[in-house]
């Protein structure tokens, strides 16, 4: 089943003129490249925020395992 494409929005952005010229010369689809760049930037930022928000819990878990070891470690075969 085909899904309805997401609506597009026209925006103005400033880009490095040399990058723009090279992209055009290589036939790069600028809209697609911008979308892909935004997807990556959003994913990276969400990851960074998640890590910042959960840093204390991660550090506490690490301290616990350093002090007490892994649960059921005696049953591990490796």
pTM: 0.72
Distance CA 38, CA 42 (A): 6
Tell me the pLDDT tens digit for each residue of 11-68.
999 999 999 999 999 999 999 999 999 999 999 999 999 999 999 999 999 999 999 9
> How does residue 1 score in pLDDT terms, banded at 50, 70 and 90?
low
Token couple for 47: 């990851």
DSSP label at residue 29: -
Rounded CA gap, 17 and 26, in Å?
14
Element (H, E) at 67: helix 30-68
């Amino acid at each position: 089943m085909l899904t309805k494409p997401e609506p597009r929005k026209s925006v103005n952005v400033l880009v490095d003129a040399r990058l723009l010229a090279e992209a055009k010369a290589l036939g790069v689809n600028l809209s697609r490249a911008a979308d892909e760049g935004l997807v990556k930037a959003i994913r990276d930022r969400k990851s960074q925020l998640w890590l910042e928000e959960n840093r204390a819990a991660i550090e506490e878990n690490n301290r616990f395992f350093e002090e007490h070891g892994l649960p059921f470690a005696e049953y591990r075969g490796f």
